Structure 1
Amino acid sequence: MGNGSPLDFTGRVVLVTGGTKGIGAAIAEGFLSAGADVVVCGRGAPATPPAADGRDAVFLPCDVRDPEAAAGLVDATVERFGRLDVVVNNAGGSPDADAATVSPRFVEKIVALNLLAPFYVAQAANKVMRGQESGGTVINIGSVSAHDPQPGTAAYTAAKAGLLALTRALALEWAPRVRVNHITTGLIRTESAAAVYGEDGGAAVADIIPMGRMAVPEDVAHACLFLAGDLSGYVNGADLAVHGGGEIPARFLAARQNTPG
């Protein structure tokens, strides 16, 4: 497929969950730019679908927390394009909540979105991919919270830690036909992140990141292109950190602030 370039996805079909805005939209646009046919899903239709090089992603409504809906999403994608080569499980997230008082309903919803939904989508995708000569790849978008919990994110942290473990388990079971990998994302500058990181666009937060800036959604999209294509043909069960080197330890920052300038 394509013109021989390892980053040419012409003729390949990519499904991005939660692909209508933010990181998901950037991932969808990255694959469109690389020539792929792209399907995005969300619970509500976007005003405009992700687009690149004069081509639009196809939007399908879906609540991926529902296993039947997740399977239907994969079926609809294959019905439309005849195959499925790449799934990016990007849908996720959580508002902050106090672990001492959070409701069981909230916990269940967060775990369903961040752990169960990727499982359901991957399961349906595997049925299709294992029957294709070229197999397929699943990419799970995770979080640094899985490694380093932040206050107010207990349910989210537990779910994301589960997603990392799920990635390794599926990679073990589904290889060699289907590869499954994970991306650990750090602080990412999106429109919805302004409320979290401040109106300075994350400039203050950037001081604690070794790379000196917050990630932009395109940084994650580029990692997805690598993990989905032939360049990573032997990469399976991996956790690719796209977080600029993590965070500079608080004790170092404190010492630096107390050093006379």
Structure 2
Amino acid sequence: MHPLDFTGKAVVVTGGTRGIGAAIAEAFRAAGAQVLVCGRTPPRTEPTDDFFRADVRDPEQAAALVAEAVARFGRLDVVVNNAGGSPQVPAASATPRLHAKVIELNLIAPLHVSQAANEIMRSQPTGGVILMIGSVSGTRPSPGTAAYGAAKAGLIHLATSLAAEWGPAVRVNSLVVGPVGEGLDPAVVARTVPAGRTASPDDVAGACLLLASPLAGYVSGAALAVHGGGEWPAYLAEFRPR
């Protein structure tokens, strides 16, 4: 079997109805996997039978998501904790409620889902893989989204801790994702990102396939940078060739 063939595998992707999550779900489907996606609201397009409504910030709903995957597929091989995000709000004016909700969605919810998934995966002969979709905001200052950056920093640490606790049956890794998609000035991106462009959702999906595959069978507790080489340091701007 090809190492990127996921035929017979069962995959859950949180926040899998649009953007990066939808691309991840489609990549696993294309590789042969059975995929269940979740979200707080149904897809904007015609709902499909691979959608389960759940707010994974609620531990009971997170557990219900995992239980639904096992009921449908009889197993659970891969969980991608993709649900997350934050509005742009200065830390000085953000409300305590906003900070709490952002951290709850981006850090606590992945822990809820992962705990439920581990209960299933550790009882399977083949174990399982849990992936955390992190962000460069968790590895450098994140002005305007301070709570989000702090939560994503915590997510990287969470992955290392769970990998240590749950190995060898369950591998846990995180992806440190750079700016994705449209909305940024291409000229600015070309000057600041070594790859010369933002990431596409498919770039992130491909990295998920790799980390979930046997090719990464000895990779656990790692943070894979999916950021096009990072960001050119602002203080070196005057020294960079133009």
Give TM-score, length-normalised by structure 1: 0.89
Quick one: distance in 2 between partners of 1:203 and 1:130? 47
How many pairs were matched up? 242
What residue identity is the alignment partner of 1:122?
A: S
Aligned counterparts, 1:1-261, within 5 A: 4-48=1-45, 58-189=50-181, 193-194=182-183, 197-198=184-185, 202-256=186-240
Unaligned 5+ segments in structure 1 are 51-55
> Are the aligned partners of 1:92 and 1:113 in contact in 2 as well (CA < 8 Å)?
yes
SS in 2 for 1:207: helix
Quick one: distance in 1 between partners of 2:17 and 2:190? 26
Give TM-score, length-normalised by structure 2: 0.96
Q: 1:91 to 1:49 in 2, by over 3 A?
A: farther
| Deviation, structure 1 residue 93 | 0.7
Moved more, 39-48 or 175-184: 39-48
> Are the aligned partners of 1:203 and 1:213 in contact in 2 as well (CA < 8 Å)?
no
Quick one: distance in 1 between partners of 2:187 and 2:41? 32
| Deviation, structure 1 residue 57 | 6.9
Per-residue deviation, residues 158-212 of structure 1 (Å, max 9, x unmatched): 11111111000000000000000000000111xxx52xx25xxx44323211111
Unaligned 5+ segments in structure 2 are none
Which residue matches 1:53? none
